Amino acid sequence: MSVSTAPRFVRADGPDKVTGSGRYTADLTLTGALVAKFKYAGISHGRIARLDTSAAKAMPGVFAVLTQDDVPDVRFGPFVQDRTLFARDVVRFEGEVVAAVAAVDAATAQRAVDAIVVEYELLPVVNDVEAALTPDAPLVHPEWASYGAADALVRDRNDASFASIAKGDVQRGLAEAHTVVRSRYVADGCHAAPIEPRAVVAQWEGNKVTIWSSTQVPFDARSGVCETLELPNNRVRIIVPHLGGGFGGKCGFHYEAHVAALARATKRPVRLVFNRREEFVAPDRRREGIVYEFETGVAADGTITARRAKLLIDNGAYTADAGFFSQIAAMHALGPYRIPNARADAHLVYTNHQPSGSVRAPTAPQTCWALESHTDEVARAIGMDPVEFRRLNAVDTGGEGPSGQTYGEIGVQQCIAEATTGAGYGQPLPDDEAIGVAIGWWPSFSVPSGAYVKLDGDGSGQIITGAQECGTGAVMTLRQLAADELGMDAEAFELVYQDTSVAPYDMGATGSQTLFNNGRAVVAAAGQIAEQLRNLAAEQLEASPADIVLAEGRAHVAGTPDRGIAIAELAGIAAGGELLIGHGSGMPPGPPPLVGSSCVGDLGMAAWVAPQFSCHAVRVKLDRDTGVVRVLHVSAAHDSGTIINPVGAQGQVEGAVLMGIGQALTEGTTYDEQGRQRNAALLEYKLQTCADAPPIDIHFVQIDTPDAGPRGAKGLAEAPNVATAAAISNALAQLVGAPVRQLPMTAERVWDAMNQEAQP
């Protein structure tokens, strides 16, 4: 494994987590706290004919029962304002909140929920993305045209967000091709399924509310509370205790406003903790199901002449943060290839399913699975080794991507070489084993961020950041960046984070953006303190500030290490006068230019800042009697720029690969005819465990990326999740004799594919 030689250090949150002394949101107890529970729709589509809460309100121990009539009548949504806090008039998926109860204990709250009477006039259920786009399909939102929406969004009936990326002349490119291959694939939706369920605690003090929440995005949560309860930002404080995993599922604004409204109505603290079924059916963040159609033309020498793709993405009942998913999915459908003539059309389709949203690398793993499976089909059609086909057609340094973006130095070819060599690709294997290869990519999200850094009088430091730590270690790594800038030890810095009333804005633990953006802010803030230290040291040592070196906790004159002074002593001097405080805003790099392409529904994702590239090579074993697949070994190579924290980076790849194995083989949501989830429990929804983890060899192709993240880093947390399922699929196709065309590739689906292939 090739990684940075940067020193290891103890994570600031590590001891609390491994000893069990750390407190998560569900661990919080406040004097007099009430218990919150929700009344859910229970059906997928219906008009509310009667809603009667009188019996629930009359029950002893019940302090409040709220519906949409008890909160401001505000429509909200980050891209389309298509929902209200509680259901108003119509319910559109089974987990929609109709009412909320606050009671003295959980049993009383549940009895009150059960006592709420809701009668529905059933409406047609939109359960299929293809049927939803037909002209006579019932509308999930009949009033869709009246909703506020982002200006660039292209909408029509059940099509919530259409995006198209086009370059060159696809028809001509296909006509000129020596061979044209067409494929269809279907990916089921799946869940983030973090161990920690969602939890929210709210308490009012006067006209201000403090909310403790298990959210990945505290500032976004604050904005949602302010919007829906019509409050100014300075009256809402969001604090995040330790977070027990999120994987994107805890992004966005969820239930903070519901609990805050209950706390305001009861004048008591209120606490909400989901059970596991609620965790599956209620939140508006699940990985989207997608239907794919591909058509790729290649010349006689194997070069791609054209590619056309069509995607139908299951948006679910509300748009949440999925508004830009159609565009990002279109990019993944074209892939990291040189394609002179390309077109991808992606439709984000309303259904009566649970809403989709940002789960680790949204749209990417399943789209990479479909595209890379199709890519192997193309290679087989022309008799070319699939690895050689990728080497021939993948983008490279100085090349042009499918949307017209020109790339600087990138490591796609190195990733292919590292991953395949590490997997032993091309070596003889038993007839029940095969190695599949896939390449993938993912953007580095470039957004504003801010941080403060200060040194106290004893020389210890603090980093005050709005960044959110969801377990990746990205926030922990900020200490290392500050220490490097100031010549100090990382352990000398304490972190103050996950509190919207203390720190400057940050987008949160989403988009793999924390180190990429907040890291720049911390480096800038620490750089200001470094300048102050050099000036102070120059006065004490009678030298020029330009000659002062900060290293090993001291400031010394360059070339004369003995002529120096401890940073702690300088901090003490500053504490008697000017304090050592720095602030940084880490202004993000702008998007690269596009040449020769056009985009419809452009929300800024047709060109990627500091794109990450990967290649996974996976060896699998197939039991042909049962269709059971076992992953034996994974070789994962990544171009994620400079690796700042090697241990954290390795952990991200390991976790993402195991998550990718689950998405490939076992994790998928199934629905009944009425749009309700069939397998909303961990007994039926099969996650991978430690027992399923194969050996994983990790290779980092470290290419310094100027004008990207700190020290030339790119994002990392989502990219390793992209290519795993695709590589497994391509290994399976070799063993089955044909691709398994539905994700997850369960034993039943593999067995069916084998038997279909065996039929004459």
Tell me the two tokens of residue 412: 């796609």
What is the predicted pLDDT for the residue at 756?
A: 85
Confidence of residue 4 (pLDDT cuts 50, 70, 90): very low
Q: Beta strand pairing status for 742-743 and 179-187?
A: parallel
Confidence of residue 758 (pLDDT cuts 50, 70, 90): low
Closest CA to 579 of 453, 484, 494: 453
Helix, strand and coil in the chain, % to nearest 5: 30, 25, 40
State the DSSP H helix or E strand holding residue 477, giving kind and residue range, or none if neither. helix 474-486
* pTM of the predicted protein model: 0.96
What is the predicted pLDDT for the residue at 245?
A: 92
What is the predicted pLDDT for the residue at 757?
A: 66
* Window from 53-57, 277-281, 403-407, 755-759 with minimum mean pLDDT: 755-759
Amino acid at 21: S
Cβ atoms of 18 and 716 within 8 Å: the answer is no
CA 251 to chain centre: 8
Q: What digits encode the pLDDT tens for the residues 117-160?
A: 999 999 999 999 999 999 999 999 999 999 999 999 999 999 99
- DSSP E strands in 317-406: the ranges are 342-350
Average of per-residue pLDDT across 211-231: 98
What is the predicted pLDDT for the residue at 8?
A: 57
Residue-range domains of the chain with CATH: 14-123+198-273 (3.90.1170.50), 290-445+593-758 (3.30.365.10), 451-584 (3.30.365.10)
Cβ atoms of 140 and 126 within 8 Å: the answer is yes
Distance CA 104, CA 80 (A): 37
What is the predicted pLDDT for the residue at 183?
A: 98
Q: Beta strand pairing status for 548-551 and 433-442?
A: unpaired
Tell me the two tokens of residue 420: 């395949």
Q: What digits encode the pLDDT tens for the residues 504-556?
A: 999 999 999 999 999 999 999 999 999 999 999 999 999 999 999 999 999 99
Cβ atoms of 17 and 242 within 8 Å: the answer is yes
Cβ neighbors of 316 (< 8 A, separation 6 or more) are: 93, 284, 286, 288, 322, 350, 351, 352, 353, 354, 355, 356
Contacts 24+ apart (CB under 8 A), 140-146: 140/45, 140/92, 140/317, 140/350, 140/351, 140/352, 141/82, 141/92, 141/350, 144/82, 144/350
DSSP reduced 3-state for 721: helix
The DSSP call for residue 85 is S
Residue whose tokens read 């509190």: 499
Q: What digits encode the pLDDT tens for the residues 89-127?
A: 999 999 999 999 999 999 999 999 999 999 999 999 999
| pLDDT of 588 strictly over 80 | no
Distance CA 482, CA 475 (A): 12
H and E: helices and strands count for the chain: 18, 28
Confidence of residue 2 (pLDDT cuts 50, 70, 90): very low
Give the sheet arrangement for strand 342-350, strand by strand: 597-600, 159-167, 342-350, 304-316, 290-298, 179-187, 742-743
HSE (CB half, 13 Å, CA atoms) of 183?
Answer: 27
Give the mean pLDDT of the chain: 95
Q: How far is CA 511 from CA 260, 514, 716, in A?
A: 27, 8, 9
The DSSP call for residue 514 is I
What is the predicted pLDDT for the residue at 13?
A: 86
Confidence of residue 1 (pLDDT cuts 50, 70, 90): very low
CA 337 to chain centre: 23
